[in-house]
Structure 1
Amino acid sequence: MRTIPDPLHAPHVPAEQEVRYYMRTPAVTLNIAAPLSDALALMREHDVRRLPVVVDTGELRGMITQGDIRGADVMRIAGLDPLDIAHALRQVKVYEVMTEDPIAIVPETGLREAALLMIENKIGGLPVVDEQNRVVGIITESDLFETLVQQLDTRDPLYG
């Protein structure tokens, strides 16, 4: 797991620009040994496109996205029986398709740094972890867009 940035060596950002105030918490997480069917059900239930994958202690081990599971839709379109697809999703475990060693950030990370990490790595969200690498939240592109809109609304009388 790569936690970026190290809060001891990161440039200081104003407290009001720290991720901690904009991340979604608690993050919806998934156990590393869960079947893909559980991942898909959690994503649908919580209307999210990505889930941090954890071990029993809550420590981050990976990320799984809708794209990782998208093969199920391909199977359906190809004409496979929905019961066969459901059976297949119960047989494959999350750890078999997740992204291992995801980039993670700490609550003190600045919004700008989080946005740059997403842009540079072409990812749509970052898990936020504590000192023990336990997931405490997640920040996504949508969260950053909402923050941008709020800041524009308060700064520009044409938008507010």
Structure 2
Amino acid sequence: MLIRNWMTPEVITVTPDTSLLKLGKLMRDNGVRRLPVLDNGRVAGIISDRDVRDASPSKATTLDMYEMHYLLAEIKAKDIMTPRPVTIKPTDTVEKAAMIMLDKKIGGLPVVDEKGALVGIISDQDVFKALVNITGVRDGGIQLGMEIANEAGAMRPIFDLLRKHGARILSVLSTNNQEGRRNIFLRIRDLPDDAREALLRDVQEHARLLYWARDEVHLA
């Protein structure tokens, strides 16, 4: 999954001299949680809704209306932005973006092209959308969790069984487990109860079934 297919291409941006008052209004009016800061067309920083909240006067402030308005106008984007933010390219993968956001504990990344120009932004919400899409969960069906050997051809008997029972695959995910084997997560189109039970019996002859799920999880 490439970032260019999941990012938000139309990005609302600000300059280093955009006031705190305008930053807050832009976020509220457009329903966004972060704003890239552009300086001469390049990404100089990024501002999150938390940055704006932290810089805004407390509701318990003793400032009067005029003093508060002056403060909001005097604080600029350059004063509260995170400078030189981590960026990513549109041809990088969504998985890489997710890893960076997880490791850096950030909620979004500006997307820049080879020349460094801003072409989009990808957020944790975009990653969630990609995850939901790639797993096929909106199509319902049945998910099978199983453990198999971590070796070439280990999935072939499973795919043969699915074909034998007329099961249609919606998604396949896998990961190494702590025992040096692989956990496989298959989502297939729903089957009648008798066909499902027959498939589960056959699967358990070729792999360790961890669980199956349709609406709720049934542990093996």
Does the CA contact (< 8 Å) of 2:17 and 2:78 recur in 1? yes
Does the CA contact (< 8 Å) of 2:89 and 2:111 recur in 1? yes
Q: Which amino acid aligns with 1:113?
A: K
Q: 1:91 to 1:65 in 2, by over 3 A?
A: same
Aligned to 1:18: 2
1:68: Cα distance to partner?
1.1
- The TM-score with structure 2 as length reference comes to 0.59
1:82: Cα distance to partner?
4.6
Among 100, 104, 127, the residue aligned to 1:144? 127
Q: Which runs of 4+ in 1 moved over 4 A?
A: none
Between 1:115-124 and 1:70-79, the stretch displaced more is 70-79
In 1, Cα distance between equivalents of 2:54 and 2:64: 14
Aligned: 1:86 with 2:82:
no
Secondary structure of the corresponding residue to residue 95 of structure 1: helix
Gaps of 5+ in 1: 1-16
Aligned to 1:27: 11
In 1, Cα distance between equivalents of 2:116 and 2:22: 23
Aligned: 1:117 with 2:100:
yes
Between 1:26-35 and 1:95-104, the stretch displaced more is 26-35
1:71: Cα distance to partner?
3.1
User: Between Structure 1 and Structure 2, which shows a larger proportion of helix residues?
Assistant: 1
Q: Which amino acid aligns with 1:121?
A: K
Between 1:140-149 and 1:68-77, the stretch displaced more is 68-77
In 2, Cα distance between equivalents of 1:63 and 1:43: 13
Pick the structure with greater CA Rg. Answer: 2
Among 27, 41, 45, the residue aligned to 1:58? 41
Alignment RMSD? 1.9
Q: Which amino acid aligns with 1:119?
A: L
In 1, Cα distance between equivalents of 2:115 and 2:75: 29
Secondary structure of the corresponding residue to residue 12 of structure 2: coil
Q: Which amino acid aligns with 2:19?
A: P
Q: Which amino acid aligns with 2:10?
A: P
Q: State percent identity of aligned pairs.
A: 35
1:141: Cα distance to partner?
0.4
Aligned to 1:46: 30
Does the CA contact (< 8 Å) of 2:20 and 2:77 recur in 1? yes
Among 112, 117, 122, the residue aligned to 1:134? 117
Aligned to 1:5: none
Q: 1:146 to 1:33 in 2, by over 3 A?
A: same
The size of the alignment, in residue pairs, is 142
In 2, Cα distance between equivalents of 1:103 and 1:117: 9
- Between 1 and 2, higher relative CO (CA 8 Å, sep ≥ 6) is seen in 1
In 2, Cα distance between equivalents of 1:120 and 1:58: 28
User: Between Structure 1 and Structure 2, which shows a larger proportion of strand residues?
Assistant: 2
